[in-house]
Structure 1
Amino acid sequence: MNTFPPLRKLAPPLLALVLSGCASFSADGGFDAVNQTAQQRLNKQTGWSRSEQDADGVTQRVRAMLSKSLSVDDAVQIALLNNRELQASYSELGIAEADLVQAGRLPNPGFSFGRTHTGDDIKIDRSLTLSVMSLLTMPAASRIEARRFEQTKLKLADVMLRTAAMTRKAYYQSIAATQSVRYQEQVREAAEVAHELAARMAKQGNFSQLDVARERAFYLETSTQLTRVRTQAMQENENLMRLLGLRKQDGMLQLPSRLPDLPKSAITLDNSEQVAMEQRLDVQSAKLEVSALQGSLGLTKTTRFINVLDLGYVRNAESGKPAEIGYQASIEIPLFDWGGARVAKAEAIYMQAVHRLAATAVQAQSEVRSAYAVQQHAYLLARQYQDEVVPLRKRISDEYLLRYNGMLASVFELLADAREQANAVNAAIDAARDYWIADSDLQLALGGPTSNLSMTTSAQNKTEGKIHE
């Protein structure tokens, strides 16, 4: 008989495996899950540039957004489309999906051919083999890789959220640094006027050399401070440019002149830790990793004794004799290696993931508690500067101006008060900046914005005060 009975019985399950093993790549490459996260948690879209056409489309869209004043939402949107590190990380989706598809593909059969001769007699051996163990473990391997693929989606969605948070922080820092430069220039201008006036009065004998030296020292100090804040503003602007994936030839950023208004009231979160456990993608990713390793551990234990099993069809032909037809099987004999080391390694990796999941949960809860406390205190401080400190400095400045007009205060007192008022405004700017940075950190710690989080970006009321002319 030319067909061996056991092979005939194996035909139906083998055919089912062939049909189920035709794994293919998805149309979106797994990216839809990341984009849905951006839409649900940020109300934005992200993109994966996988061709020159995609990159050109992103470039045109970014240039259109850069043609006007950039809001924080615009900055986040540009970063989600154009950040180079984010684009590079998206390629991990292709790697993970390739592993998934490979796990669902049937193993290639092996073919061997041998030809020998004795005098005029020729002997030809042929065999076709297939790894039966790979076939049997293919469903389990596919499930493991599918979980890893889902885990990769979660990790990249988390990277995307962190990129958005870093962009928000860089946006506020850049605006605050530019504001500080503007007010420091006014401080330096006031110090320069006082220094020149003191020098002229000293020439007339109406000012001591000690007072002249003091005014000059203050002028030099304000000049050096202006250099520092200008340097910081340049660094903050470049940091924002990097996060947005922009180059010098893309043009200058058009940012608002002031930070946005503070919310009317501070947010209240009674269940922040629970929200973080439900929303944070790093926690969900760690859970999937444990699940995937648990399946991998079970597969390792199942195949610890037999992990090589090949079944083959054999046909041998020899001159003048009928062909020999049959089958052969090869199996690994667990004589020296009983698979204990592989099982121990799999168990250690699994327990490592379990402890990492616990550590991730502890860290997430700690981060959200800390971020919430910092955000609350930053709001109180910024509100105190806005409602009390700056208005008080403005009232003092008005009183000095009235006294100066009534010849009850000197011009030096007026200039000194102008410097003090500018310092108060700078401190208010720093406090407002710290609040918006803390607000971004809180959103990141929670894994997304909260429903009652105030994100108003209306025209800012004049809480900074003005240095009188």
Structure 2
Amino acid sequence: MTTLFRLSALATASLVLAGCASVNIDEALLDANTTTNSFTQGQLVLSRTPQQQQARNQLSSELLAKPLAMDDAVQLALANSPALQSLLAQSWADMAQATQAGRLANPLFTFERTTFGSELELGRLLSFGLMDLLTLPRRQAIAQGRVAQAKVQLSASVIERVTQVRQAWVRAVAAQQSLQYADQVNRTAQASAELARRMQQVGNFNKLQRARQQVFYADATAQLAASQHAATAAREELTRQLGLTDAQAAQLKLPERLPDLPKEARAANVVSASATEQRLDVQLARHQLDIAGKSQGLNLITSLVDVELGIRRDTVFDNASTGGPSTSTPRKGYELGIRLPIFDWGSAQRDTMNAQSLAAASRYESTVRGASSQLRESYSAYRTSYDVARHYRDEIVPLRKTMAEENVLRYNGMLIGVFELLADNRDQISSVTAAINAYQQFWLADAALAASITGKPTALLMAAPMAGVPADAAAH
């Protein structure tokens, strides 16, 4: 009875230690929503029921019923994108796999039936890994660390996905705006070329003067074709980021222009040193370092020895007596199996875990050191693009508008001709195009900076300002 009690107590303790709870994906999504709420302004939901899918479809229909703003594009991606749903499901699988690694392996039950002459022997053996049981608390701690790492990775992936959606929306709206302006320029160039043709017919223009107007129209036509493709490509990229079907893509309506610049740029304190510790890439590197440290202590033991403990109970039946009942003799005991480190002393495994620990430590140090620098770079791109866009808004575009109004007055006073007026319009083309590009560059940098503060850095190449075309080059 004492032995049975001890075995029962050991089995009960094993079950309690092995009772690691399953991954609750709803709680994981709640943590991700809490972490990314200020960035996404929405809720992550993994659709597992028809009702949840119907709610997502309803929200998508409501968002597509009106021109899609930038924040609405994020909400549409969260509700509609199958790629984002795949990301959530894969994160669930990663967390479940990490949890499984922290559980105790099932015991092995072996049944034997052998006969020898008049004897029948029944053997029963229940065995389990003793080292697995002894190292279970450490393995559960490692599993919990990997689950936490998977949660941080989920938040970082969501932020990266949302940043891609925002930047795709900016490019699509800017390309559409550039296409509208390119169409206006093309129509103006067509009218100029037609007027030049007629004036040549009546002898008021020579062949060179007409050729200059015609080449401007030809360039405008080529630019219009390029703008049409750019607008289509940017729109399709946004369609893919939002996960729209063909029917939904036909319903997609975008604003006519990019949003206005904010009244003030973000303050420089967004790149403070305290922000680096809150970044998800730093948290992810820290989790990797913690897991590597815990795994090193565990692998140090398991690389040297492995022990299997078994509880045996056999029964031998003797059927030799005739006419009488058979006799049975019970036998019980224990088995201990130890894997002897003769051929492999685990040196390669220990070298591997030492190298992984060193790599994790260096990776964490590199991430921390680079975080502040990356934030300063992102803020510099943001602030530079804001200043350039504001310069176009407050200086260049108003000056071009004033010059255009003055030239219209001079044309009405018959001080200049129609082609001088058209030449001035050509000077405005590069300025307006550059202003659109400057607005686009700012909103791209704004999305990249928001991602760098919360999640991980997003690479963004600053576009050089477009040089204006001299007035005399267009007029002559």
TM-score, with length taken from structure 1 = 0.90
Matched residue, 1:12 = 9
Matched residue, 2:384 = 377
Matched residue, 2:414 = 407
> What is the root-mean-square deviation of aligned Cα atoms in Å?
2.0
Q: CA deviation at 1:360?
A: 2.3
Matched residue, 2:112 = 114
Answer whether contact 1:4 1:326 (CA < 8 A) is retained.
Answer: no
Secondary structure of 1:47's aligned partner: coil
Give me the whole-angstrom Cα distance separating, in 1, the residues matched to 2:12 and 2:122. Answer: 29
Answer whether contact 1:133 1:310 (CA < 8 A) is retained.
Answer: no
Matched residue, 1:299 = 298
Matched residue, 1:243 = 241
Answer whether contact 1:169 1:437 (CA < 8 A) is retained.
Answer: yes
Give me the whole-angstrom Cα distance separating, in 1, the residues matched to 2:307 and 2:349. Answer: 14
Give me the whole-angstrom Cα distance separating, in 1, the residues matched to 2:247 and 2:396. Answer: 42
Give me the whole-angstrom Cα distance separating, in 2, the residues matched to 1:139 and 1:238. Answer: 51
- Which is further off, 266-275 or 288-297? 266-275
Matched residue, 2:369 = 362
Matched residue, 1:431 = 438
Q: CA deviation at 1:89?
A: 1.7
Give me the whole-angstrom Cα distance separating, in 1, the residues matched to 2:98 and 2:211. Answer: 75
Secondary structure of 2:123's aligned partner: strand
Structure 1: which 4+ aligned runs deviate by more than 4 Å?
none
Please show how residues 20-39 of structure 1 align to structure 2 within 5 Å.
20-27=17-24, 28=26, 30-39=28-37
Give me the whole-angstrom Cα distance separating, in 2, the residues matched to 1:65 and 1:106. Answer: 48
Taking structure 1 as reference, are residues 341 and 448 closer, same or farther at Cα in structure 2, changes over 3 Å only? closer
| Equivalent position to 1:87, from 73, 85, 88 | 85
- Which is further off, 99-108 or 70-79? 99-108
| Equivalent position to 2:226, from 219, 222, 228 | 228
1:54-77 deviations in whole A, cap 9, x for unaligned?
223211111111101211111111
Answer whether contact 1:294 1:350 (CA < 8 A) is retained.
Answer: yes
Q: CA deviation at 1:10?
A: 5.1
Matched residue, 2:309 = 310
Q: Which amino acid aligns with 1:182?
A: Q
Q: CA deviation at 1:433?
A: 0.9
1:399-443 deviations in whole A, cap 9, x for unaligned?
110111111111011112122223321211111111111111111
Answer whether contact 1:93 1:149 (CA < 8 A) is retained.
Answer: no
Q: CA deviation at 1:78?
A: 1.3
Answer whether contact 2:65 2:251 (CA < 8 A) is retained.
Answer: no
Q: Which amino acid aligns with 1:362?
A: R
| Equivalent position to 1:184, from 179, 182, 186 | 182
Secondary structure of 1:30's aligned partner: helix
Give me the whole-angstrom Cα distance separating, in 2, the residues matched to 1:280 and 1:30. Answer: 18
Answer whether contact 2:303 2:346 (CA < 8 A) is retained.
Answer: yes
Taking structure 1 as reference, are residues 390 and 431 closer, same or farther at Cα in structure 2, changes over 3 Å only? same
Answer whether contact 1:178 1:233 (CA < 8 A) is retained.
Answer: yes
Give me the whole-angstrom Cα distance separating, in 1, the residues matched to 2:394 and 2:233. Answer: 31
Matched residue, 2:331 = 324
Please show how residues 46-445 of structure 1 align to structure 2 within 5 Å.
46-250=44-248, 251-270=250-269, 272-319=271-318, 320-445=327-452
Q: Which amino acid aligns with 1:284?
A: Q
Structure 2: 5+ residue stretches without partners: 319-326, 457-476
Give me the whole-angstrom Cα distance separating, in 1, the residues matched to 2:385 and 2:340. Answer: 68
Q: Which amino acid aligns with 2:235?
A: N
Give me the whole-angstrom Cα distance separating, in 1, the residues matched to 2:425 and 2:120. Answer: 108
Q: Which amino acid aligns with 1:25?
A: S
Give me the whole-angstrom Cα distance separating, in 1, the residues matched to 2:98 and 2:215. Answer: 69
Q: CA deviation at 1:260?
A: 1.1
Give me the whole-angstrom Cα distance separating, in 2, the residues matched to 1:365 and 1:82. Answer: 35
Q: Which amino acid aligns with 1:441?
A: A
Answer whether contact 1:31 1:93 (CA < 8 A) is retained.
Answer: no
Give me the whole-angstrom Cα distance separating, in 1, the residues matched to 2:304 and 2:297. Answer: 13
Taking structure 1 as reference, are residues 271 and 56 closer, same or farther at Cα in structure 2, changes over 3 Å only? closer
Answer whether contact 1:190 1:419 (CA < 8 A) is retained.
Answer: no
Secondary structure of 2:44's aligned partner: coil
Answer whether contact 1:29 1:94 (CA < 8 A) is retained.
Answer: no
Secondary structure of 2:121's aligned partner: strand
Instruction: Tell me how many residue pairs correspond in the alignment.
Output: 446
Give me the whole-angstrom Cα distance separating, in 1, the residues matched to 2:131 and 2:5. Answer: 19
Give me the whole-angstrom Cα distance separating, in 1, the residues matched to 2:445 and 2:308. Answer: 59
Answer whether contact 1:86 1:159 (CA < 8 A) is retained.
Answer: no
Structure 1: 5+ residue stretches without partners: 450-469
1:9-30 deviations in whole A, cap 9, x for unaligned?
4543442331242333244262
Give me the whole-angstrom Cα distance separating, in 1, the residues matched to 2:271 and 2:36. Answer: 21
1:339-380 deviations in whole A, cap 9, x for unaligned?
222221111112122222223223433321211111111111
TM-score, with length taken from structure 2 = 0.89
Give me the whole-angstrom Cα distance separating, in 2, the residues matched to 1:307 and 1:375. Answer: 57
Give me the whole-angstrom Cα distance separating, in 2, the residues matched to 1:106 and 1:172. Answer: 51
Q: CA deviation at 1:271?
A: 5.8
- Which is further off, 311-320 or 395-404? 311-320
Give me the whole-angstrom Cα distance separating, in 2, the residues matched to 1:361 and 1:354. Answer: 11
Q: CA deviation at 1:100?
A: 4.2
Answer whether contact 2:127 2:308 (CA < 8 A) is retained.
Answer: no
Give me the whole-angstrom Cα distance separating, in 2, the residues matched to 1:114 and 1:239. Answer: 65
Q: CA deviation at 1:275?
A: 4.1
Taking structure 1 as reference, are residues 46 and 125 closer, same or farther at Cα in structure 2, changes over 3 Å only? closer
Give me the whole-angstrom Cα distance separating, in 2, the residues matched to 1:197 and 1:41. Answer: 54
Q: CA deviation at 1:273?
A: 4.7
Taking structure 1 as reference, are residues 4 and 143 closer, same or farther at Cα in structure 2, changes over 3 Å only? same
Answer whether contact 1:124 1:317 (CA < 8 A) is retained.
Answer: yes
Q: Which amino acid aligns with 1:171?
A: W
Q: CA deviation at 1:38?
A: 2.7
Give me the whole-angstrom Cα distance separating, in 2, the residues matched to 1:112 and 1:370. Answer: 64
Matched residue, 2:461 = none
- Which is further off, 206-215 or 415-424? 415-424
Q: CA deviation at 1:259?
A: 1.2
Matched residue, 2:453 = 446
